[in-house]
Copies of this chain bind each other. A is one copy, B any other.
Amino acid sequence: MEATYAALCKHGYASLRMQDIADESSKSKATLHYHYESKQALLYALLDYLTDSFAERIETLEGETPADQLLSLVEHYLSPGEDDAREEFRTALLEIKAQGPYDDRFRAELTEFDRLLHGRIRSLLEAGQADGIVRRDIDPDETAEFITTVLNGAQTRHVAVDHPTDQTYAMLETYVTRELLAEDATPTEVGLE
């Protein structure tokens, strides 16, 4: 998985070959082929692995309240790390997203990730409503869809036109604070300040 990740970052999706993955690992191309039919099969396994890691990572989020935890999740999604490989991975992932309509396995993996992200956001909003921190007149499911869409857009604009993801983070922080928090929840109470 590490070798596939490294090779994908280095070469991008379109020009990636099995040999590039072998070059990043201690295994030969023949050995890789013994376990995985094609570079596609390795990429499916990689997306599956990354989704599982993400699921584990976002199970426990920093923050005192669900609102804080939501912002931790947003921050983690938007700036998972500062190294170059992460930048290149975002770009390769956008290439893979563009394969969605043509490749059912990619679409299935991408859909699983999308549902995981959406579901986690929804459950945080529901927990916030139960705690009285989040407005009860918002629909947690639709709002989670909205935030998931914003997060996708932030990644796309970052890759396409170098739009800074920290600007999206700031906009989402404003959105959460102004539009989603219950009126009687003070910033201190919800731990945002």
A-side residues, CB < 8 A to B, are 12-14, 87-88, 91-92, 94-95, 97-98, 100-102, 107, 110-111, 114, 142, 145-146, 148-157, 159-163, 167-168, 170-171, 174-175, 178-179
**A101 to chain B: closest residue by CB:** B91
| Minimum CB–CB distance for A96 against chain B, Å | 8
Is there contact, CB below 8 Å, between A163 and B101?
Answer: no
Given A97-B94, A101-B91: A149 and B161 interface contact (C-beta under 8 Å): no
A-B contact pairs, 11 of them (CB 8 A): A13-B98, A95-B98, A98-B160, A100-B159, A100-B162, A101-B162, A114-B160, A146-B150, A148-B157, A149-B150, A178-B179
Residues of B contacting A87 in the complex (Cβ-Cβ under 8 angstroms) = 101
**A154 to chain B: closest residue by CB:** B149
A153–B148 CA distance with the chains assembled, in angstroms: 8
Number of copies: 2
Given A14-B14, A146-B171: A161 and B107 interface contact (C-beta under 8 Å): yes
Residues of B contacting A14 in the complex (Cβ-Cβ under 8 angstroms) = 14
Residues of B contacting A163 in the complex (Cβ-Cβ under 8 angstroms) = 114, 145, 149
A21–B79 CA distance with the chains assembled, in angstroms: 39
Is there contact, CB below 8 Å, between A171 and B153?
Answer: no
| Minimum CB–CB distance for A183 against chain B, Å | 13
Residues of B contacting A174 in the complex (Cβ-Cβ under 8 angstroms) = 142
Is there contact, CB below 8 Å, between B161 and A156?
Answer: no
**A139 to chain B: closest residue by CB:** B174
10 more A-B contacts (CB under 8 A) besides A12-B102, A153-B153?
A91-B98, A94-B156, A97-B159, A100-B159, A101-B162, A107-B161, A114-B157, A142-B170, A145-B163, A152-B160
